[in-house]
C-alpha cells in the first residue's frame, strides 16, 4: 500500500493539476504517476520502506528513477 507522506502544489492554487509528493511504500507496490486527477511532479520522491531505496520521479520520461 502506497502512503502519501507529504504533498505540495507546484502552483499556488488548491486545484493545481501537478503536485510535488513524498510517497512511501513497499518495493512490490506500483509507484504511481498520478494521484487521483493530479499528476506527480518532477522531482517527487518515493521511499521503499522494506528496502530503504530512494526514487525520484522524472516527469519527462514519466518514470521513477533510483538506485
Q: Which pLDDT tens digit goes with each residue over 29-64?
A: 999 998 888 889 899 999 999 999 999 999 999 999
Return the exposure string of 17-37: e unless at least 16 CB atoms fall within 10 Å of the residue's CB, then b: ebbbbebbbeeebebbeeeee
Higher pLDDT, 5 or 3: 3
Give me the half-sphere count of Cα atoms (radius 13 Å) on the Cβ side of residue 4.
Answer: 12
pLDDT band at 16 (very low <50, low <70, confident <90, very high): low
* 48 vs 26: CA distance, rounded Å: 5
Amino acid at each position: 500500500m502506497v502512503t502519501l507522506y507529504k504533498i505540495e502544489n507546484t502552483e499556488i492554487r488548491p486545484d493545481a493539476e501537478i503536485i510535488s509528493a513524498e510517497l512511501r511504500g513497499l518495493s512490490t507496490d506500483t509507484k504511481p504517476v498520478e494521484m487521483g486527477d493530479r499528476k506527480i511532479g518532477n522531482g517527487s520522491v518515493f521511499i521503499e520502506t522494506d528496502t530503504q531505496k530512494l526514487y525520484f520521479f522524472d516527469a519527462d520520461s514519466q518514470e521513477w528513477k533510483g538506485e
